[in-house]
Amino acid sequence: MFKNYCKIAWRNLWNHKVSTIINLACLATGMACCILIIIHITDELSYNKFNTRYHDIYRIDWVKNNDGQITNAATTPISIGSSAIAEIPQLKELARLYQRSGAFETNDPVKNKPAQKKFQEQNVFFSDNDLFSIFSISFIQGNPLTALRAPNSVVITDETAKKYFGDTDPLGKFLYYDNKALLQVNGVVKKLPANSDLQFDFLISFETLFSVESPEISDFLKSNWTFNPVYTYCVVNPQNRGPVELLLNKVLKTHGDERTRKMNQVYLQPLKNVHLYSADIEGNPSTASINYLYMFGAIAFLILMIANVNFINLATAMAGTRSREIGLRKVLGADKRQLMAQFLGETLLLTVIALIISLLLTHVGLPLLNQLTNKQIIFQSWFNPKNITAFLCLFCFTGLVAGTYPAFFITRFKTVSALKGRSGETNNKNRLRKTLLVTQFTISIVLIIGAITIYQQLEYMRNKPLGFQKEQMLTVPIFGSGASSIGFGVDGAMRQRMNAFTNELIKHSRIKSVTAASAVPGQLYIQGLVIPQGFSEKDNIFVPWISVDYNFISTFGIPLVAGRDFSKKTGSDHLSAFIINESAVKAFGWKNPEHAIGKNIIRGDAANGKKGQVIGVVKDHHFNTLDQAMPSLIMDVSVPRFSQFAISIQPDHVPQTISFVKQKWNEFFPERIFEYSFLDQDISALYRSNENFSKITSYFAFVAIVLCCLGLFSLSSFLTLQRTREIGIRKVLGAGVRRILILLSADFLKLVLLSLLIASPLAWFLTHKWLQNYVYRVDVSWWVFLLAGALALAFSGLTVVLQSLGAALANPIKSLKTE
């Protein structure tokens, strides 16, 4: 029996090649989209779960209440960790992680040979030894209990070991860190899996941090309760979470200074929330959000539905041509159940083939997915029990959804009329088909409108004038990329070398200007305490603060609206001059920019802060991403904070200019690694996740509309076939080709128009809601709806008209001869 079903199913599929191919293409594409998204979702859900203490690991998060404006951060001050472990008995294990990039070189202190390998490294953390008992980090060499106990010890990953030491035994070898500390390799661990939010290449014992940073900064780090540079992980029994949180806040209140008591709080963030529920937390290692997963899941589901609807429509339309067979089988003794089994069997066979094709498609599509999501998922590694289950569910779901209705529909035919070749198609049936078609097109149109709007927003952000020059701007980090943002690294000697370097550079004809700063637009500006005239320290005003060289404002082309630029000539600008932006003028309650000139400002606390006056006001410019408003800004000239050069160059012969800069760099800073990047590229990289999101929606919108049209294509071809006789009669009665085309297409096109009507408000609502995420955004414009409608109409119209043309042109004698 089963064999017989398979045989018939196979022959039926074979005999209707075109519709089989279309059905397969639709189902396989739908399933491939689903599989890809399932891969993505299961991967996202698997994050951090490899840790055996997954449910007990918490991160201490930091709450900043800046005048009612609450920010949560993933990092805390250093002090809280040390106090907490000492004073809270429920806390047995706690590890702080302080990220500090720097150059590493292989170095043998005994032979004192010149470095053989030297690289700038980003994934460098100063860490407490407890990290190894909190996270499941497996040691290849060394002892997890003591590896980071001794100062100046370093633990590296197997990959890093290979990079620096090749095949030789790394244990006990030395690495020279950032021209500052000689570290001994005390352990080699396996690199953490890709689905870990904690990622590192080097771990250095935490105490070493204080010998690397200058004594001044070390004291600041040890005692400060506002600056929050470290991730603090600890193990807490989930039942103790509440009490421990209370105790942590108590520690904060007892030890913290007055400002901390007033402004800050801490809470425990479970590790299981770090990957998908913490994207809006400052400094969180993951920007993924569960909402995006829901959205992808919904899109996958919708695409699969579109494919299924195609199948249902086509199967029921084809039922007419198979009604004779069905009637006959009934006469020969088949009961409904057996017929249902036969038709479901056909669907399942089709689904199996579609599934195999979709796996091939998945194999092809995976690199694209990896590119869009910045992952390295390998196809083979994807076969695990969980995914296989998901994939079987998908298969059953598709087969059942696609097969059940047609099977019911077909087996309901009345035997006698079915034998005469009539399918007993009623209006009822047509209504269902129309509903399904409208649903399909509504989904596609919503996706098209969504994709266009997202693209528009992205283009808008890319092209919006930011208020400063970002093109042909080369940035060169002084202490390596990713260097600590608290700075104070430039001493007098360094400043002299920097000046010499600058003077040498501007001699080059294609270098327009060279400046230095603590940060450039697009990077995170540190928030500094500011006491403007008329306020007191108790007001706790924190404002983004950068320190710049004298020619920074002119190099970046930021317009001055009042007062003057920094100038070397006055001789005191580096001691007592501030420039603020228009927003700051407003925030400080001063009437207008002119009014602000000469006002007193203290940058820092009242006792030790830098006291000075406002000498100028610049126009507001976007140093943040465009999803945020333009906040206040304060600039001063504070050389020790400088962390990078910004070099404005001519647009021609860029490679030569860069190699010139590099050559000079090596001359003046032989101990440092030359790195550079282009500011405009850095800024557009900030929008990469938006860009990927935009790409993903466009791909899916495209797939959706193609699937819809494929479905429409096969459906209209069948309906046209069914109406061959009617068309023949109409032609004999004198209908022209045009009228017949209109007759055949009008029904479909009306449905597409109806879909547009339904989709428009829906799409408007969704895109409007999404755009609320951006402070600077495009308006949803009416022409997008028109365009989406026109696209859908054009695609579907073309499909239907091409189909109908054959029928309209055919000789009526032929079509009337049938029967």
Q: 270 has which bridge partners?
A: 58
Residues with Cβ within 8 Å of residue 62, at least 6 apart in sequence: 72, 73, 74, 75, 76, 77, 228, 264, 265, 266
Mind giving me the DSSP string for 267-336?
Answer: EEEEHHHHTTS-TTSBT-S----HHHHHHHHHHHHHHHHHHHHHHHHHHHHHHHHHHHHHHHHHHTT--H
In degrees, rounded to 5, the angle at the alpha carbon of residue 204 between the alpha carbons of residues 201 and 205 is 150
Q: Is 686 in the site for another protein (CB under 8 A)?
A: no
We find the least distance from the C-beta atom of residue 817 to another protein, in angstroms, to be: 17
Task: Please name the helix (run of DSSP H) or strand (run of DSSP E) that holds residue 644, with its range, or none.
Answer: strand 644-649
Q: Is 8 in the site for another protein (CB under 8 A)?
A: yes
We find the least distance from the C-beta atom of residue 424 to another protein, in angstroms, to be: 14
In this structure, how many other beta carbons lie within 10 angstroms of the beta carbon of residue 14? 9
Q: Is 335 in the site for another protein (CB under 8 A)?
A: yes
Q: How far apart are CA 267 and CA 477, in angstroms?
A: 35
We find the least distance from the C-beta atom of residue 415 to another protein, in angstroms, to be: 5
Q: How far apart are CA 299 and CA 293, in angstroms?
A: 10
Binds another protein (CB under 8 A): choice among 110, 332, 493, 733 = 332
Nearer to another protein, 180 or 422 (CB): 422
Q: How far apart are CA 250 and CA 261, in angstroms?
A: 10
We find the least distance from the C-beta atom of residue 335 to another protein, in angstroms, to be: 6
Nearer to another protein, 332 or 733 (CB): 332
We find the least distance from the C-beta atom of residue 721 to another protein, in angstroms, to be: 17
Chain centroid to CA 755: how far?
Answer: 31
Q: Is 298 in the site for another protein (CB under 8 A)?
A: no
Chain centroid to CA 430: how far?
Answer: 43
- Binding part of the chain for another protein, among 304-312, 324-332, 465-473, 488-496 by CB under 8 A, reads 324-332
We find the least distance from the C-beta atom of residue 23 to another protein, in angstroms, to be: 17
Nearer to another protein, 332 or 378 (CB): 332
Q: Is 350 in the site for another protein (CB under 8 A)?
A: no
Q: In what order do the strands lie in the sheet with 644-649?
A: 511-517, 644-649, 473-477, 677-678
| 3-class state of residue 736 by DSSP | coil
Q: How far apart are CA 622 and CA 614, in angstroms?
A: 21
Q: Is 787 in the site for another protein (CB under 8 A)?
A: no
Q: Are 312 and 425 contacting, i.e. CB atoms less than 8 angstroms apart?
A: no
- Binding part of the chain for another protein, among 290-298, 334-342, 424-432, 731-739 by CB under 8 A, reads 334-342
Binds another protein (CB under 8 A): choice among 182, 331, 360, 524 = 331
Residue type, 595: H
Nearer to another protein, 409 or 642 (CB): 409
Q: Are 358 and 35 contacting, i.e. CB atoms less than 8 angstroms apart?
A: yes
In this structure, how many other beta carbons lie within 10 angstroms of the beta carbon of residue 125? 23
Contacts to another protein from residues 417-436, by CB under 8 A: 419
Contacts to another protein from residues 251-270, by CB under 8 A: none
- Binding part of the chain for another protein, among 1-9, 146-154, 283-291, 689-697 by CB under 8 A, reads 1-9
| Letter string b/e over residues 312-325, b meaning 16 or more CB atoms within 10 A of that residue's CB | bbbbbbbbbebbbb
We find the least distance from the C-beta atom of residue 310 to another protein, in angstroms, to be: 23
The two tokens of residue 365 are 């599509």
Nearer to another protein, 1 or 378 (CB): 1
The two tokens of residue 617 are 């006001």
Q: Is 1 in the site for another protein (CB under 8 A)?
A: yes
In this structure, how many other beta carbons lie within 10 angstroms of the beta carbon of residue 730? 17
The torsion angle over the Cα atoms of residues 7, 12, 13 and 17, rounded to 10 degrees, is 140
We find the least distance from the C-beta atom of residue 399 to another protein, in angstroms, to be: 21
Q: Is 4 in the site for another protein (CB under 8 A)?
A: yes
We find the least distance from the C-beta atom of residue 719 to another protein, in angstroms, to be: 22
Q: Are 250 and 151 contacting, i.e. CB atoms less than 8 angstroms apart?
A: no
We find the least distance from the C-beta atom of residue 2 to another protein, in angstroms, to be: 10
| 3-class state of residue 183 by DSSP | strand
Nearer to another protein, 10 or 782 (CB): 10
We find the least distance from the C-beta atom of residue 726 to another protein, in angstroms, to be: 23
Site string for another protein, 11-40 (x = CB under 8 A): xx--x-------------------------
Binds another protein (CB under 8 A): choice among 163, 261, 324, 495 = 324
Q: 475 has which bridge partners?
A: 646, 677
Q: Is 415 in the site for another protein (CB under 8 A)?
A: yes
Nearer to another protein, 332 or 607 (CB): 332
Binds another protein (CB under 8 A): choice among 86, 356, 416, 732 = 416
Nearer to another protein, 336 or 431 (CB): 336
- Binding part of the chain for another protein, among 322-330, 494-502, 632-640, 643-651 by CB under 8 A, reads 322-330
We find the least distance from the C-beta atom of residue 350 to another protein, in angstroms, to be: 16
Task: Please name the helix (run of DSSP H) or strand (run of DSSP E) that holds residue 350, with its range, or none.
Answer: helix 336-373
Q: How far apart are CA 695 and CA 136, in angstroms?
A: 36
Q: Is 329 in the site for another protein (CB under 8 A)?
A: yes
Q: Is 733 in the site for another protein (CB under 8 A)?
A: no
We find the least distance from the C-beta atom of residue 333 to another protein, in angstroms, to be: 4
We find the least distance from the C-beta atom of residue 331 to another protein, in angstroms, to be: 5
In this structure, how many other beta carbons lie within 10 angstroms of the beta carbon of residue 664? 19
- Binding part of the chain for another protein, among 8-16, 548-556, 714-722, 757-765 by CB under 8 A, reads 8-16
The two tokens of residue 742 are 């209109």
Binds another protein (CB under 8 A): choice among 334, 560, 597, 758 = 334
Binding stretches for another protein (CB under 8 A): 1, 4, 7-8, 11-12, 15, 324-325, 328-335, 338, 415-416, 419
